[in-house]
Amino acid sequence: MTLREQIKQVIDDEPVAIFIKGTPQAPACGNSMRALQALRSAGAPITAVDILPDPQIRQELSSLTDWPTIPQVFVKGELIGGADITEELYASGELQRRLDEALGADREQTVKVVAVTAVTAAGATAA
């Protein structure tokens, strides 16, 4: 799968996907931390992708979503927004309402990390 296809798969298949700088345990950016905090407070399951290992991840993501900044939050494949919108929706109760509607009120609050990687020329040859 290409990098773009892997990114698309995470967005489409994960209940709540978030693309961040760093990891949920150690976010490397204040905005990623703000969005994670809002999701946690809203009781969201979290599937996180760290965009820092390869600049191509952010390029492909932003070209796919037409959204220039990090973090990016998706619920059931739909872009919710970045840190500001996620916080705003949490504060108004709208985030919880959307999560209840999409995933049910008795959802499990799991946290996982998924890695996406560009297939390098060397890797392709080796395979």
Interaction site with another protein (CB under 8 A): 30-31, 66-69, 79-85, 88-89
In the bound state with another protein, the residue whose beta carbon lies nearer, of 85 and 118, is 85
Helix (H) or strand (E) holding 39: helix 30-41
In the bound state with another protein, the residue whose beta carbon lies nearer, of 7 and 70, is 70
Task: Give min distance, CB of 92 to another protein, in A.
Answer: 10
In the bound state with another protein, the residue whose beta carbon lies nearer, of 46 and 80, is 80
Task: Give min distance, CB of 78 to another protein, in A.
Answer: 9
DSSP 46-115: EEEEE-TT-HHHHHHHHHHHT--SS-EEEETTEEEESHHHHHHHHHHTHHHHHHHHHH-TT----EEE--
